[in-house]
Chain A
Amino acid sequence: MQRYSGFGLAKHALSHHENWERQWRNPTPKKQYDVIIVGGGGHGLATAYYLAKEHGIKNVAVVEKGWLGGGNTARNTTIVRSNYLWDEAAALYEHAMKLWEGLSQDLNYNVMFSQRGVMNLAHTLQDMRDVQRRVNANRLNGIDSVVLTPEQIQEIVPIMDCSKNARYPILGASWQPRAGVARHDAVAWGFARAADALGVDLLQNTEVTGFKIRDGRVYGVHTNRGDIEAKTVGCVAAGNSGVLAKMAGFRLPLESHPLQALVSEPLKPVLDTVVMSNHVHGYISQTDKGDLVIGAGIDGYNGYGQRGSYPTIEHTLQAIVEMFPIFSRVRMNRQWGGIVDTCPDACPILSATPVKGLFFNCGWGTGGFKATPGSGHVFAWTLAKNQAHPLAAPFSIDRFHSGALVDEHGAAGVAH
């Protein structure tokens, strides 16, 4: 792998930047691998990278039906935070946060991780009680978190309407200074390049059409480019997890919904943090390019169409304009949808399945991007050792039969 550096940039400038090597190979599938990862998004690529780096398992294929990072990795609103309420969830997302903090150096790839802080607003007395409870829970778990007063909020975000006359007056907020945003595509590309350099085969345009299962044990996958064998298969397919589970002969406690986001025309710098509101339900940040990135809730119906409905756009923008009257005349540039796999308790599934050797990493719902490195790290451990990583153990699929749910609904910043 050609390492990226300031010196390299200067050297390549001399040849007009025409001699950079490709970031990853485009290999032909081999007949057999030690591990197959189904799904070449951020989580899948991170899993492959940590398998190769931490566990020395380099004979790995990532099977992707489209192109790398073309699903939800390309469609999210890039927010990274770890201020979750329950111990199990907080531990998992904080694990990811610590990996984020060294990720650009680790991957030799600038993922543009910017710890500009995330603010979760409270508009009602109950919101305030929830904020205080969550901040206290965070601090007990060693996660940076503070309660802000409206005056402090106004100081951090002068353009927000913090007046008492607002329809939904802002009473306070929780604030995680270490949280922020990252360049979503760069995360997928960085993991892909680093995994490829360690010997992982990234197989694009390769769609899994079925699993090879014998005596309740997986030994490979059928794809549109022929059969590929492996004794361990990890599925990291977000919205399409249910489709894969059906191929393997079982059901998951998931429902796939469209979740949409939109960006505005580029503006001069006006918002240097991330603002989220559970109550009026919208969240917003500004990219380095100047676009406002805006998101909100899912469309309520099941869908795989990768597009959102117009009523949801309207509700989202109502919430944003409620908080930021200054944006009322900003024009929106683009709008898109991704398919999120929502779990009944709004927590992920990192688990073995009824088929031996077949593991699923799914159910991240509306909040998977922030967990990308942590999810990959923990899932790689699980695949390598054939047992649940201690941080993954509470997220077994068994919890939907035992009743030990990790109920993060609405507890973490934005209602799911």
Chain B
Amino acid sequence: MFHIYCPYCEEHREEEEFRPKGQAHIVRPKDPEACSDEEWGDYLFFRDNPRGIHHELWVHAVGCRKFFNVTRHTVTYEILETYKMGEQPRITAESLASGETQGNVQVAGGGQQTVSGSNAAVEAVKGEQA
């Protein structure tokens, strides 16, 4: 069971209150009519589907009903950070590969069956919003 920090409610809530909605940061083409079939098909259907760090949309379906973003590892399922719509992730596959730690974020090794939000990551994001 995930324990997810909703950046709008500013609380950890159980997974069942939320619904995952797929890859985040997909930008709708500004002028769909001008898109080629390839561009429009790529926008609608093609996804990164990485094995590793994934930025995704979730909705707090039975809570505040707001959409927000989650950075999660797709093998360990560890939630590394949650952040509001319109914000950019602090943790990315690139930042982890280059060994950068952002703020106080420590990225734990995975492997647990049940993973809750990494408190350090959440606190860092929360601190930034405050």
Contact = CB atoms under 8 A, between A and B. Distances in A.
A303 interface: yes
B74 to A, nearest CB: 5
Interface stretch (B48-56, B84-92, B97-105, B118-126): B48-56
Contacts of A251: 42, 46-49
Interface string A155-179: 0000000000000000000000000
A110 to B, nearest CB: 36
A400 B45 contact: yes
Given A304-B75, A401-B41, A309 B49 contact: no
Contacts, number: 75
Chain B CB count within 10 A is highest, among A253, A301, A307, for: A301
A249 interface: no
B119 to A, nearest CB: 20
B60 interface: no
B19 interface: yes
A344 interface: yes
B1 A310 contact: yes
Contact of B16 (A242, A307, A311, A400): A311
B37 A401 contact: yes
A6 interface: no
A302 B45 contact: no
Interface string A236-274: 000010110010000111111000000000000000000
A311 B56 contact: no
A402 B37 contact: yes
Contacts of A403: 37, 41
A303 B49 contact: no
Contacts of A402: 37, 41
Contact of B49 (A254, A344, A401): A254
Interface in A357-416: 400-403
A303 B74 contact: yes
A102 interface: no
A252 B74 contact: no
Given A303-B74, A304-B74, A311 B49 contact: no
B49 A302 contact: yes
B46 A400 contact: yes
Nearest to B72: A301
A63 B107 CA distance: 34
Contacts of A253: 41, 45-47
Nearest to A307: B113
B75 A252 contact: no
Given A240-B51, A305-B74, A305-B75, A300 B20 contact: yes
A302 B77 CA distance: 9
A248 B38 CA distance: 19
Given A310-B1, A311-B1, A402-B37, A300 B19 contact: yes
Contacts of A256: 49, 51, 74
Contact of B46 (A243, A252, A311): A252
Interface string A304-339: 110101110000000000000000000000000000
A1 B111 CA distance: 42
A254 B77 contact: no
30 contacts: A240-B51, A242-B47, A242-B49, A242-B50, A246-B50, A251-B49, A253-B41, A253-B45, A253-B46, A253-B47, A254-B49, A255-B22, A255-B23, A255-B49, A256-B51, A301-B20, A302-B22, A302-B23, A302-B54, A302-B74, A303-B74, A303-B77, A305-B74, A305-B77, A309-B1, A344-B44, A400-B44, A401-B41, A402-B37, A403-B41
Given A253-B45, A253-B46, A305-B76, 13 more contacts: A251-B46, A253-B47, A256-B49, A256-B51, A300-B20, A301-B77, A302-B22, A303-B77, A304-B75, A305-B74, A307-B113, A344-B45, A400-B46
